[in-house]
Structure 1
Amino acid sequence: MNLAKGCNPSLQEMQAFTKAPNFKWEKTHKKGYFTNLNPKMPHIKRASLWEVLRFYLFKPKNAKPKYPLPFIKTDFKSLYTKNPAVVWFGHSSLLINDEYFKILIDPVFSSYASPKAWINRAFESNVSWSSDDFESIDALVITHDHYDHLDYPTIMALKDKVKHFIVPLGVGSHLRFWGVPFTQITELYWWQSLNLTPSIKITSTPSQHSSGRGIQWDRTLWTSYVLDIKDKKIFLSGDGGYYTHFKQIGERFGSIDLAILENGQYNLAWQYSHSFTPQVFQTALDLKAKMIMPIHYGRFAAGSHAWNEPLKNLISLCDTHCLPISVPKIGEVYELNTPPKREIWWDF
C-alpha cells in the first residue's frame, strides 16, 4: 500500500456532499464528484499521454534555474510581526504570521511533489525546511489534494505540532487516513468561514481546478481562501484557471490588500487548470487587489516555459499599470504595511 496516495472519502461521506451545489452524485454507479462553476469546463480534461511526454521531452533548457535560488533562513520559532506577514518557501508553500500566530499554507518540504521520489524533483537548493524549524503551528491550511500542495511526508512530520487543520470538503479523509485526529480537522465548502481567533477569520472561496491523487479524480473539493487578519484581507489563490468567480470574490470582500496568486506552470494542454500571466493580472483587477505577490514557481518545473518567465512578465504588467507587486526571496519575511520587496534576485 502506498500511504502517500491517501484515501478518498467513503461512499457514505460522498453522499453527504450532495448538499453542495457543485457535487454530482451518480446513483446508478454509486459515485460522486465535484465540478467547476464554468459550464464549458465542469471537469478539467486530463492531458493526453503524448501531451505530457511532449512537455517532459521538449521543455526549454531554462525550465530550471542555472544556480540554486537565493534565500533567507528565517528563525520561525522566534518570529514575531506586528502586522500580518508572509513568508514564501517556493512553489505554493507559505507561512502567514501575525504577532506569534502561525498559519502554514500548502507546505511541501519534501524534495519532490509526487507519489514517487524520482518524479517532479525540486530545483537544486541550498536551503531546506522541516518540522524542526517550528515550535508549533496554530493552523495548517490546504487548498486541494494534489501532490504539490498536500505532501504526505511533510504532513506526517508536522502533524503533532499542528493545532488545527483547515481543508476543502473531502480532503479531511486523507488526513484521517494518515492519523490526524478527527477533532483537529475542519472541512470547508465555498463561502463557509471559520474564526481562528477573535481577529483572524478564514473563508473558503471558489476556484477552477481539479483534485485527485490516483485513479479516482475530483472526489474532493479544491478552493481558494480569503484571510481576514485584523484590518487586512489576504487572498490565497491555490491553483486555478481564470473565470468569473474572481470578480465575485472581489465584489463580496470589497477589496484585497494582498493577492497571493498562482503565476507559473502554465501550458496550453492544461490551460483551464492554471492561469496564464495576463489572466493573473486580470485576476488581481477582478479582486480589486492593492498588491500582488506571485507564487507557484521557483521550486518545481511543470510548465512549458523558462522558470522565471512568468515572474518577469507579471512584473512588467504590474509596473506598466502601476499595480504594486512584492517579490520576496525564498524564506524572506514580507510584512504588510511596508513597501513591496523588489530586489532583483531572479534574473539568471
Structure 2
Amino acid sequence: MRSRLARWLLRATVFLAALVAVLVAAGWTVLSLPQFGAPMAGPRLARALANPQYKDGRFTNLEPETPTSTAALGDYIVRQFSGNEVREPPAPLPVLAVDKAALASAPAPSGLRAFWIGHASTYVELDGLRLLLDPVFAERVSPLPVGPRRFHAPPIALADLPRIDAVLISHDHYDHLDMDAVRQLASRGARFYVPLGIGAHLERWGVPAAQIEEMVWWQQRTLGKVQIVATPTRHYSGRDPRHRSPTLWSSWSVIGPQHRFFYSGDTGYSKHFKDIGERLGPFDIAFIKIGAYGPGASWVDIHMPPEQAVQVHRDVRGKRMFPVHWSTFNLAYHDWDEPIRRTLDEATRAGIELVTPRLGEWVDADREFKSTRWWEAVR
C-alpha cells in the first residue's frame, strides 16, 4: 500500500513539476514578444541612473502617489464584474471622416489646428509642422488579442495620414504607445520624441536611432522653428507586468514662432503644472486628459478627475481647453460620458473656454468653435 502511494506521489510530483515548467516557459515566451518592448541597457541605462527621478530600478514622481492597498485591489476586481455604470456608449458615436486629400497640402506656416482621433490620440498642425500625440489606431489596447476594444473607428486610417514630422509619446502604456502604428509611422520618416527609456522599445521595433529623440524633463529639441519640450507629469509606466515604471513619462509643451500648445499626457494633479505655465505658457490650446480616473487616492493620484483637469488647464495658462482621453476605451469604473459632463460643469463654473469637438472635427486656435453636447444624443 505504501509502495503504491509512494509511486502515485512521485508521478503527481513529476506531473506538477512538468506543468510548472511548461507554464514558466510559456510565460517567458509570451513576455519575450516584441510588443512588450525592451529594457534599458548601456548608455541609455547610464542616463537613467544619473537621473534624480530614477531610484531603485524605477522612475518616480516628484510628488509620490498613494500606494495601492490590498483592499483597493480587491475592490477593483469586484467592480470590474459589477456596478451599474454605463461604461460603453449605448449607440454609435458621431465620427466625422477626415478627407485625406484635405491633408495633402502643407500646413499653414502660421497656424494651430487639430482634430481628435480618439482617446488621447490627436493630429495637430502647428506653424508648418504636422504632429501626432500618442497615436493609437489598434482595435485593442493590449499586448494580446484580448482586453478593451475601441468604441469607434478612427476618423482617418493611419495609412491615409500624410507624412508626420513629429510623434510625441507621453508614456509607454498600451493605450498610448501602439507598436504597429509606430512601425508604420517610422517607415515613412516620422521623428519620435519620447521620455527616457522608451527609445529601447522603439529600437526593438525597428525604428532607426536617428529618428528617436529620447528626453528627460525640461529638455528641449528644435524641429524647424518649433521647440519641443518634455515637461513633468505625475504618472507611471510599464508594458511588462513584472516591472513597474521602468521608463519615464512626460507631458509636452510645443512652442512655435506664432502658436504653442500643451499636452498633459496621463497624469494626476501636481504643483508642477503651475511651473510649466509660468515658464512656458500661455498656451493657445491645452490638450488635457479628463477620463479613466478613480476610485481611490492611489488611482486619482495618477489619473486626475475632471475638476482637477480644469485646474491643470488654468495652471498651465491655457486659453482653450481641448479634452482628450475619454469615450474610446472602457478603462475605468465610470459612465463613458461622465468625464465630459463633469468637465463641462467645472469649466462653466471656472469660466474657461472648453471646446467639445466630435471625433474628426477640426478645432482652429484662431477661429471661433461652436461646441455642442453631442454625447447627449448617443442614446
Normalization by structure 1: what TM-score? Answer: 0.91
Secondary structure in 2 matching 1:89: strand
Instruction: Look up the match of 1:266.
Output: 293
Unaligned runs of 5+ in 1: 27-31
Question: How big is the shift at 1:51?
Answer: 3.4
Q: Retained in 1: the 8 A contact 2:253–2:260?
A: yes
Pair 1:52 & 2:76 matched: yes
Alignment of 1:82-93 (within 5 A): 83-93=111-121
Question: How big is the shift at 1:99?
Answer: 6.0
Find the partner of 2:306 among 277, 284, 293: 277
Question: How big is the shift at 1:273?
Answer: 1.2
More helix by share: 2
For residues 120-177 of structure 1, what are the alpha-carbon distances to aligned partners after superposition, in whole Å with 9 as ceiling and x for unaligned? 1111x25564332123111111100000000112222322113311100111000000
Unaligned runs of 5+ in 2: 1-31
Instruction: Look up the match of 2:317.
Output: 288
Cα RMSD, aligned residues only: 2.0
Give the number of aligned pairs.
338
Question: How big is the shift at 1:52?
Answer: 3.2
Pair 1:175 & 2:202 matched: yes
For residues 57-113 of structure 1, what are the alpha-carbon distances to aligned partners after superposition, in whole Å with 9 as ceiling and x for unaligned? 124441111111111111245424551111111110011113652111111101111
Q: Distance in 1 between matches of 2:142 and 2:69?
A: 17
Secondary structure in 1 matching 2:374: coil
Tell me which amino acid in the other structure corresponds to 1:116. Answer: L
Q: Distance in 1 between matches of 2:79 and 2:259?
A: 40
Instruction: Look up the match of 1:194.
Output: 221
Q: Distance in 1 between matches of 2:362 and 2:204?
A: 34
Question: How big is the shift at 1:16?
Answer: 2.5
Instruction: Look up the match of 1:37.
Output: 62
Alignment of 1:1-150 (within 5 A): 1-10=32-41, 13-24=44-55, 26=56, 32-38=57-63, 40-41=64-65, 45=68, 49-76=73-100, 78-79=102-103, 80-81=107-108, 83-98=111-126, 101-123=129-151, 125=152, 127=154, 129-150=156-177
Change (3 A) 1:64 1:281: same
Secondary structure in 2 matching 1:165: strand
Secondary structure in 2 matching 1:290: strand
Q: Distance in 1 between matches of 2:69 and 2:100?
A: 39
For residues 172-217 of structure 1, what are the alpha-carbon distances to aligned partners after superposition, in whole Å with 9 as ceiling and x for unaligned? 000000010111100011001111112x111010000000001112
Question: How big is the shift at 1:44?
Answer: 6.0
Secondary structure in 1 matching 2:283: coil
Secondary structure in 1 matching 2:230: strand
For residues 39-68 of structure 1, what are the alpha-carbon distances to aligned partners after superposition, in whole Å with 9 as ceiling and x for unaligned? x43x86488642332232124441111111
Tell me which amino acid in the other structure corresponds to 1:101. Answer: L
Q: Retained in 2: the 8 A contact 1:76–1:133?
A: yes
Change (3 A) 1:316 1:95: same
Q: Distance in 2 between matches of 1:331 and 1:197?
A: 27
Q: Retained in 1: the 8 A contact 2:170–2:250?
A: yes
Q: Distance in 1 between matches of 2:280 and 2:372?
A: 31
Change (3 A) 1:59 1:292: farther
Normalization by structure 2: what TM-score? Answer: 0.84
Q: Retained in 2: the 8 A contact 1:143–1:222?
A: yes
Q: Retained in 2: the 8 A contact 1:334–1:341?
A: no
Secondary structure in 2 matching 1:62: coil
Percent sequence identity is 32
Q: Retained in 1: the 8 A contact 2:95–2:155?
A: no
Q: Distance in 2 between matches of 1:78 and 1:89?
A: 16
Greater alpha carbon shift after TM alignment, 215-224 vs 131-140: 131-140
